[in-house]
Structure 1
Amino acid sequence: MALPPRRGPGSPLARKAAQRTPGHHYNASFLASADRAEILAWLGTLHPLWEERYSKHFPPPEGQQQRRLLRPVYWLGNWQFACLDYYRPPKGVKDRCVKAEPFPAVLERQIVKVEALARRMFRGPDMPQGWHLNTCLVNFYGSRLEDGRWVDTARVGEHKDFEPGPVASLSLGERALIQFVTSTRPGERDAVVLEQWLDDGSLQLFGGAQWKDQTFHRVQRVDTRAGHVMPPELPDFRTRRINLTFRYVPDAHVTPFAALSAEAREDVRPYMATLAKGSRFFREELAREQPPVKAE
């Protein structure tokens, strides 16, 4: 694993940390070295999932086929399974966010700092009542083995994060180029409004109408220069960058697995069973599901 970049008041990362745009904040040297090491150790204990995009009760649209996501993922706070179509308020809130493991202590410490920064940056409609960072998507970027050859899948197409309020992300490993683009819909790009290289140990925080509502964002590419190999070890996949994206889902919309509809439980039960193999939390969540009552 490559050594972390040099940090300190005179380092190149520290000089870049001052870059700011209204509603968008970037700090290239946010993570302390000790916290970075602790996060990497915790990441090494995870068992990420390869999710399918669709399910029995949420089948592919006409003319499309089932497909696997480009990368393995892990969620904290609540798990937004792809086959449940993620969280899309105001209508897409029921059975979308399944209660998941709490944040480890090292991430809780980062959240305290990020939330304080966000509350200084955002006011009024840009800071929803009750906002707090209670969900985290961990994306593993790299290359996967397909038919005997390694295919680079380290990218994300144009999308929006529909959770209300500011969004924060921590980056580890190779730097990545994120772009914010104006667009009427994905695939119809008008212009790149802002682009930013996200360095190892950096924080990106964005919010407000311009960055949440009026633009899409995408990860255009992920470097290979530094030679990072990131934990955990995964079969047929090489991770060179990890991004942790923190968002806010109203607590009332976070649902324990046992409280999901029968259809949603059926769709995600195999994933829950896979997660339970490496997680006491998910084993206990599965155990709380009441068996169906047999007709006499």
Structure 2
Amino acid sequence: MTYQQAIQIAKEQLEAKHIYSGFAFNYMLELTQLQDLNLYLIKDEEIPTSLLEVYQQGVIRLLNDEPLAYVLGFEWFYGRRFKVNQDVLIPRQETEELISNVIMDMDELFEDHCVIADVGTGSGNCAITLALETNSQVIATDISFEALEVAKENNKLLESNVTFFQGDMGQPLIDNKLKVDVLVCNPPYILEDEEVQSSVLTYEPHSALFGGQDGLKYYRQILDEAKFFLNDKAMMAFEMGFSQQDNLRKEILKRYPHAKVSFKQDISGKDRMCFVYLNTVY
């Protein structure tokens, strides 16, 4: 059987179950790249039996609606490969946009060395990316021991130097009397009764998805905590649901009445990022 034939069979199987058929090609592409093979050059060649077995086993998992990232064991983020498993949320493209905006704002606002906190780090994708892209001191927290184990492994694999603390949201920063210039947080923000894609609901950790009845539970918590660890001149950056702008602005201004609040759109034109500036000229 050739690579192309194996892909075609998998595509037909996925289509029959109304699952995105492009996973068939994407999965094979990643598997061949891991072996330093160029799928585009070898697609009509015989696929080795060992690789075919791995591919077919993975396709079975895809047919059960398991996300491709979990089948592979990794996801790409900001050009780097991050290990993921069902203990952590899969990094998304929208979060890459958040990090890009954070980096641009940091260049504008802070001339000197910055201290960044990534609260609810998950796989560590945001914290590690910021550490590698900005050479800043980065601290990351997560309540989940299992998630932190994944983040620490990514930190080692990618030769980063993030410092990790286990604890609830910003509490470890307070307990350790730390001060930061930039807070980055992608908290759980899905409403309790919001409809969620079945593969996400079945496989990804619910603790990283759902943010209470209105989706703002964890924003309130971190906004309450932030006053204890933010420097006077500081910036906060959040990912958010596209319909949460007005309510989130109210929660921010209730606690930081003199802050400048700015919402930024993702590549789809939806408000998905919230930036809060404290005592800055931005």
Q: What TM-score do you get using the length of structure 2 for normalisation?
A: 0.25
Larger radius of gyration: 2
Which gives a bigger RCO, structure 1 or 2 (Cα 8 Å, sep 6+)? Answer: 1
More helix by share: 2
Q: What TM-score do you get using the length of structure 1 for normalisation?
A: 0.25
